[in-house]
Chains A and B, each alone.
Chain A
Amino acid sequence: MTAIIKISNLDKYFGRLHVIKNISLDVQPREVVCLIGRSGSGKSTLLRCINFLEEPSHGSIEVDGIRVEGGEKGKEHRQLVHNVRLKTGMVFQEFNLFPHMSVLENVIEGPVTVKGMDKDKAMALAEENLDSVGMLFKKDEYPNRLSGGQKQRVAIARALSMEPRVMLFDEPTSALDPELIGEVLNVMKKVAKDGMTMLVVTHEMGFAREVADRVLVMGEGEIIEDASPKDLFTQPKDPRTKALIDRYRSGEN
């Protein structure tokens, strides 16, 4: 099987700060990969490099056969980046719904403006996706009338409506009140079950253990552990992983 995401020798510097250190990583189609690690370990930056919200300094990103070299400029590069973005959906910690558009308008915006999809067709697709995240009943509301959990579910529907091959989640539940986290995680489980390839930066160890096929632990800009959740939670190799898991266990009890 060929990998759907291939990251090769990726480096990212912020000025003199080396935040991603020569990372290579393959993700298979339909795989759900969770990225965990302390804050500042580079996990969000790695995720944001995949759709070029952060331009990598060196190395390459390949998504569904489109290969882009980092650190380049010019029209051709911009076109490749655009093509990669069409293959990837992204969900942000802060939801970032468009406040001047209703829920339905938020979801059809990408298909209509970017893909030039017929509006009726986009609406049918949007309603289908809103239904699958359980938000169809709020389609005419504006985002300011929704709870955090509802906003994030709409944001997931918005990303899905671009029919991406890969979904990137950047701490999707970190800005939510504890009682709203469950509804978002449930929607994510459903997306995973439908066969979407997912990369999830998260602090939700329970989700990682239950849903992920693979868990990557990051520390100081490197992947320090790459294991199945079962192995990771029962026999962590790196002491930093052990510390993370111990903290999770003590919080659970």
Chain B
Amino acid sequence: MIQAQISQAELLYEAQQRKVRQFRTNVVISWVALLGFLVFLFNGPIEIDSEFIRKNILFIAGGLGQTFYISILSIALATCLALLAALGRLSTFPPLYALSTFYVSLIRGTPLYLQIFFFFLALPQLGIVLPGLFAGVLALGLNYGAYMSETFRAGLSSVSKGQREAAVAIGMTPQQTMRRIVLPQALRFAIPPMGNDFISMTKDSALVSATGFVHEVMWRATRVGRAEFNNLEALIVAAGFYWMMTLVLTFIQSRIEARLARGDR
């Protein structure tokens, strides 16, 4: 009797797994078809200058390092700011709370594009001239810090009051409770959305090109594109690089999430 129940459950499970596999296969086939269609477009109906691409692809690829470098530095800055802003937001001390909400409101209330120009173009008028890369990182970091503070706040709030009470009851100080009990759980909660933010930051770093001081992918693409009036080709190449970068980062993110899913809660 029990034997029969188990095998029935197994059969149901197998049937479901078959369905899932079938669905995945079909999705992959559709993706390949869509990709093939894109390739076909650029080989027939849309004329592109492949000679130009061959000549310039390495030059554009040379910006990948800069793009990645800006993103890493900016996300590091953003993470620190976001954590401080989130702690301020949860503070019962009015000036801290005010500082945090003021920062978030100001940054979220203005365009990222404007903020980047502010650091490059407006500050020099006050006699403050920042190196190109530094100004770009500052603008992106400040901007993403404001958005990510919401994620961190949610992460901190997701840790129940009971967790703090249990920590306090075994004699932990508020600092120990924060460091050993609350933060690890909040970070675990915040890592998946942080991954998303990092991926969108690698793309938003293209905005920094507009100032002309940082020679990342987008800057290089527009430069060669405009010079020879091959904007179509240059932008296609840049788009390809951004897309590949996103795919790689998304893959890494999914691995990290799978690892985090083990052994929690």
Q: Is there contact, CB below 8 Å, between B170 and A158?
A: yes
Contact with A along B162-174 (1 / 0, CB 8 A): 1101111111110
Residues of A within 8 A of B166 (CB): 90, 92, 96-98, 155
- A149 to nearest B CB, angstroms? 18
Say whether, besides A98-B163, A100-B185, A51 and B264 are in contact (CB < 8 Å).
no
Q: Is there contact, CB below 8 Å, between B170 and A159?
A: yes
Contact with B along A99-114 (1 / 0, CB 8 A): 1101000000110011
Contact residues, A12-38 vs B (CB, 8 A): none
Q: Is there contact, CB below 8 Å, between B163 and A86?
A: no
The answer to whether the Cβ of A162 comes within 8 Å of any Cβ in the partner chain is yes
- B44 to nearest A CB, angstroms? 56
The answer to whether the Cβ of A249 comes within 8 Å of any Cβ in the partner chain is no
A-B contact pairs, 28 of them (CB 8 A): A51-B169, A82-B173, A85-B168, A85-B171, A89-B169, A89-B170, A90-B166, A90-B169, A92-B162, A92-B166, A96-B162, A96-B163, A96-B166, A98-B166, A98-B185, A99-B264, A99-B265, A109-B180, A113-B176, A114-B171, A114-B176, A115-B171, A142-B264, A144-B263, A144-B264, A155-B166, A159-B170, A162-B171
The answer to whether the Cβ of B184 comes within 8 Å of any Cβ in the partner chain is yes
Residues of A within 8 A of B169 (CB): 51, 53, 85, 88-90, 92, 159
- B208 to nearest A CB, angstroms? 37
The answer to whether the Cβ of B18 comes within 8 Å of any Cβ in the partner chain is no
Contact residues, A70-129 vs B (CB, 8 A): 82, 85-86, 88-90, 92, 94, 96-100, 102, 109-110, 113-115
Q: Is there contact, CB below 8 Å, between B168 and A53?
A: yes
Contact with A along B158-200 (1 / 0, CB 8 A): 0010110111111111001000110011001000000000000
Q: Interface residues, chain A, CB within 8 Å of chain B? A: 51, 53, 82, 85-86, 88-90, 92, 94, 96-100, 102, 109-110, 113-115, 142, 144, 155, 158-159, 162
Residues of A within 8 A of B160 (CB): 96
- A33 to nearest B CB, angstroms? 19
Question: How far is it, in angstroms, between the C-alpha of A134 and the C-alpha of B160 when the chains are bound?
Answer: 27
Residues of A within 8 A of B176 (CB): 113-114
Residues of A within 8 A of B265 (CB): 99, 144
Q: Is there contact, CB below 8 Å, between B172 and A94?
A: no
Q: Is there contact, CB below 8 Å, between A85 and B165?
A: no
Closest B residue, CB atoms, query A110 = B170
Instruction: Give the contacting residue for A100; candidates B168, B172, B173, B188; CB below 8 A.
Output: B188
Residues of A within 8 A of B181 (CB): 98
Contact with A along B135-174 (1 / 0, CB 8 A): 0000000000000000000000000101101111111110
Q: Is there contact, CB below 8 Å, between B171 and A53?
A: no
Question: How far is it, in angstroms, between the C-alpha of A163 and the C-alpha of B170 when the chains are bound?
Answer: 10
Q: Is there contact, CB below 8 Å, between B171 and A96?
A: no
Residues of B within 8 A of A144 (CB): 263-265
Question: How far is it, in angstroms, between the C-alpha of A162 and the C-alpha of B166 when the chains are bound?
Answer: 13
Residues of A within 8 A of B263 (CB): 102, 142, 144
- A198 to nearest B CB, angstroms? 15
Instruction: Give the contacting residue for B170; candidates A99, A100, A109; CB below 8 A.
Output: A109
Residues of B within 8 A of A88 (CB): 169
- A15 to nearest B CB, angstroms? 17
- A51 to nearest B CB, angstroms? 6
Residues of A within 8 A of B171 (CB): 82, 85-86, 110, 114-115, 162
Most buried by B among A92, A99, A158: A99
Closest B residue, CB atoms, query A115 = B171
- A40 to nearest B CB, angstroms? 19
Most buried by A among B170, B172, B176, B188: B170
Q: Is there contact, CB below 8 Å, between B165 and A100?
A: no
Closest B residue, CB atoms, query A88 = B169
Q: Is there contact, CB below 8 Å, between B165 and A99?
A: no
Residues of A within 8 A of B167 (CB): 98
Closest A residue, CB atoms, query B263 = A142
Residues of A within 8 A of B264 (CB): 99-100, 142, 144
Closest A residue, CB atoms, query B180 = A113
- A6 to nearest B CB, angstroms? 20
Residues of A within 8 A of B162 (CB): 92, 94, 96
Question: How far is it, in angstroms, between the C-alpha of A59 and the C-alpha of B85 when the chains are bound?
Answer: 39
